[in-house]
Amino acid sequence: MATDDHDRSVTFVLAGTSQHLTRSAVETRLAGIVPRPVETYAVQVNGVWYPVRQAFAIGAGLAPDTFNSHTARRHLQNLGFATHGNVQHRDQPVINPVDENPPAVEPGPIWHTEARIQAAVVASLRERGWHIASEANTATRERGIDIVATKHLRIAGIEVKGFPARTYANPARSRETKPTQPSTQAGHWYGQAVLAAMRLRTRQPDYVSAIALPDFPRYRNLFDETASSLAACAIHMLWVHQDGSVDGLNALNEAP
């Protein structure tokens, strides 16, 4: 027997917690809510078009910084709501949802290299009162923990990865295209980061273990698939945006 759209529901894991959401709950919670301006994706609820992040945050009762537009759009579509907007390729960065005026993409050095992601995390940690005890040299592929930071009696060990580019970083090969697709290589890099973070939990159980990644849909999807396991291992995720801002740092202070 066919299921009426009003009875549709989805179950998903977000930030390590299992969530159950129904279409009727979203409709009830958004009744009378004034929509904000739509930037990328929109969803129609109760005949009104909302930004997908606003609709999902209110409809699911979730903090907006725990998901991105790609995730919100997918779950709302699964509930049978109509959506529209530009489809974002999973190899494109996620624009920081906090920014009302996201920075324009300009030609120049790639922002999502490992070195630049590490520099952004280090700068953000220092702004929040952390002392940087050590940094690995990404240029020489130095082994060990990429970032070790301390604050009061807390020590954080952070594994950093960039997002693969389509061309080589070596100037001599800069015009060549890599044979491996960025999304495929990103899967390998994500696995390496998770393994490094798990090893840190074993070798240094008193450390707060975290992974820092540039905010791309490919990485967000991989995180969605592994979030509950990472939470069980007490591994935290830091998301770095193109403007250098970092989400998730508060979790380092709150970790047991």
CATH number of the domain enclosing 141: 3.40.1350.10
At 18, list the tokens: 């299992």
How many angstroms separate the Cα of 47 from the Cα of each of 31, 37, 59, 255? Answer: 10, 16, 15, 42
43 belongs to a structural domain: yes
The confidence score (pLDDT) of residue 39 equals: 66
108 lies in some domain: no
Q: What is the DSSP string of 176-215?
A: SBPSS-HHHHHHHHHHHHHHHHHHHHHH-TTSEEEEEEE-
The per-residue pLDDT for 173 is 63
What average pLDDT does range 112-140 have in this prediction? 91
| Per-chain mean pLDDT for the chain | 83
Structural domain of 168? 114-254
236 in Cβ contact with 210 (< 8 Å) = yes
Tokens of 74: 């997918």
The reply to whether 96 falls in a domain is no
The answer to whether residue 177 sits within a structural domain is: yes
Q: What is the mean pLDDT of residues 212-229?
A: 93
Q: How many domains does the chain have?
A: 2
Opening angle at CA 170, ends 168 and 176, nearest 5: 40
Judge if 125 and 215 occupy the same domain.
Answer: yes
Are 187 and 247 part of one and the same domain? yes
Is 10 within a domain? yes
Residue type, 227: A
Please tell me whether the overall predicted TM-score, pTM, comes out greater than 0.75 for this model: no
Residues 14 and 69 both lie in one domain: yes
157 plus 220 within the same structural domain:
yes
Summarised one tens digit per residue, pLDDT across range 24-79 is 989 988 888 888 877 678 899 999 998 888 899 888 888 777 788 888 889 999 99
Same domain, 208 and 156: yes
Q: Where does residue 4 rank: exposed (0-12), middle (13-18), buried (19+ CB within 10 A)?
A: exposed
Average pLDDT on 169-185 reads 72
Residue 36 tokens read as 């904000």
Domain membership flag for residue 246? yes
